[in-house]
Structure 1
Amino acid sequence: MAKYQYQQHPHTKTREHQPASKAIAGFNNRLGAWITTKVGTMWAAYAFAALALISLPSAISTGDVRVIVDWIAQTFLQLVLVSVIIVGQNQQTARAEMRAEATYKDATALLHEVQQLQQHLSHQDAELQRLRKDLGKDLGK
């Protein structure tokens, strides 16, 4: 009977936990990230809503429905919804990162458990070999 030989998967030897975010290089990338961070808040959405409402009386005073619809579509919705959408995307990203971190921790724990199980099985194999050898001696083989 051939003895089982454990072979560790190459990935388990080389893997390291990599942080989700890396440094943002370049002025344009840093500026874009900074603006997105500032615009992607509900406070920015409130500020944009207030800014858009300043021009509402002017749109209403024209009496033209098309001007009012244009104000709603081009001024209010675009200004406010962009910030709200970014807030929602940030929340979804944060939840996805939490799930990814939990999955990583689960996988690391599982790897540890499997390694412990492998050690336990190795000890059992050695003990079984010893018992088999002792039994063979007792039977006169």
Structure 2
Amino acid sequence: MYCAYAFTLLALVALPAAIEQGSPTVIVNWLSSNFLQLVLLPIIIVGQNVISAAQDARAEADHETLTALHQMSKQQIEILEGQNKILDLLKPKVD
């Protein structure tokens, strides 16, 4: 963010010259070429970094959740296989 502040000051250095011209075209040109490009680019990059960090944290949490669910599913399958073996042993006694 300090870069955005520095670029704002840098862009404001050229503002008096643009105002001196008195032409709306020059002021719009200063606004679009100097101010917006110099200031918004660092702000956008900082925003992307914040979003990227949040997405990484969310992906890590999702991975941990899915790993735990996978382990639980494996345990459930083992329990069901054990129950099937017990039922197979009991089936001849019922018949």
The TM-score with structure 2 as length reference comes to 0.86
Q: Which runs of 5+ in 2 are unaligned?
A: none
The structure with the largest helix share of the pair is: 2
Tell me how far apart the structure 1 counterparts of residues 9 and 83 of structure 2 sit (CA, whole Å).
Answer: 72
Structure 2 counterpart of 1:100: 59
What letter is aligned with 1:103?
D
Give yes or no for the alignment of 1:62 onto 2:28.
Answer: no
Match of 2:79 among 110, 115, 120: 120
- State percent identity of aligned pairs: 44
Give yes or no for the alignment of 1:49 onto 2:3.
Answer: no
> What pairs with 1:30-41 in structure 2 (closer than 5 Å)?
none
Match of 2:30 among 71, 82, 104: 71
Q: Which runs of 4+ in 1 moved over 4 A?
A: none
Tell me how far apart the structure 2 counterparts of residues 110 and 130 of structure 1 sit (CA, whole Å).
Answer: 30
Structure 2 counterpart of 1:9: none
What letter is aligned with 1:71?
W
What letter is aligned with 2:55?
A
What letter is aligned with 1:65?
P
**Deviation of the 1:60 alpha carbon:** 1.2
Superposition RMSD on alpha carbons, in Å? Answer: 1.6
What letter is aligned with 1:115?
K
Equivalent residues, number:
95
Tell me how far apart the structure 2 counterparts of residues 55 and 45 of structure 1 sit (CA, whole Å).
Answer: 16
Tell me how far apart the structure 2 counterparts of residues 117 and 43 of structure 1 sit (CA, whole Å).
Answer: 54
Structure number with greater CO (CA < 8 Å, separation at least 6) is 2
